[in-house]
Structure 1
């Protein structure tokens, strides 16, 4: 009896020590996570403050977005003329397609390639190679700050246009479609972030990436349906567009919003986006590793 009681006490004490050690490790992980998040949020806050110092630039971009959207609506209104349906869309649906698609495009757009390119060319990348926070994590923090501000401004400018076309805009409150669209736009943001980052890394080999970015940007807009709905193109081009990631940043989510595409198409699109994210991530790892070997930044 006495031995059994002693063994029970030892077992309880051992269990307490194991639990305490486990709790301590979990606490360490939590504190480390909080520390990393503080760094992340500090960068986000700093970029917000920096962006707000350029109020005129922010305002100019919003005016440009509104002007571009209105120009597209006026152009398609003229194209329709007396026609009721073009490409399976009525004029009312086309206007909604433009408004919704441009809103999604404003959310995912970034200028990361230019930032990465200048950091490499000007030697600023050297500073990040000796810091505990990786360069990519810093860039991600910076873009989250930009995108949160851009999204807020884009929502306001988009709402102004939607209010102007309130009698024309089509509303969709279907929860299932909404959830897939949100997931698709988030993945489209990651694809755009990775692609832009990858274009910026080309500066390891060349001094100028603006021309490359401009060319790729036009290709993206064409295959995304930004110029016109891609279902107006021959079937072969539509199939190519659906195999690439770009259609899921404009055409597909806008068509899902209009319920012109089935939910199964949206789910398949999410899988295609995930595959492209993995492909781009793998390419980035390879290009980054090889690029660093060539890197001759200031001070290195």
Structure 2
């Protein structure tokens, strides 16, 4: 695992991690296999998330794939062919993607090319998805005699509706970038050479906001979606009550009144200019 910051760890082989300006890029680095996910990749992503979780200087994660052809073109079929019912119950990929969905720091999928199977499900687990114009999404698992079981049957229906999700899962058909945009599956479509910059712009917009407000907003949206409306409203009130007690809220309102940008991370700013 490579990194551009001073904070490094043992170097795995199949992902690259670069950390700069509060952002961690996790790149799946198997271009010869269209960045297919195998057990080692899953383990390395999990280890990278451990580091990022504990890194006070990293506030957001962007996932992408090496090369221009594929974000992640699914699970490694050679491994998939050997899986047993015990592997199905272990659900290693499903559990990792659940962790990404619930990660306290915001996540963005910068989808460059094919996002099939487990790659599509990885993108679904992220908070925000931005696609290059050559991106394609698919859940082709039923053609292999299995189902998308890393969250695909659940998250896709939440995002695009049960009718469209059922169509995509039963037929295995591909969704091109512009169709994904019209469905709300992705937030933005840009040319391939503009994808990194578009993801950075979105990340910087998030990082300019109150960090605790962002974390609680993510939590309330996710959990409020799965409960009854009264419980969702209660979660919203409780989160707001917490935020009303913080210096973050005081700084945000002061900055608005004083017509300046809020400084939500003064320690980080001091460190950057020291």
Q: TM-score per shorter chain, which class?
A: under 0.3
TM-score by length of 1: 0.26
Structure number with higher strand proportion: 2
- The answer to which structure, 1 or 2, has the higher relative contact order (CA under 8 A, 6+ apart) is 1
Structure number with higher helix proportion: 1
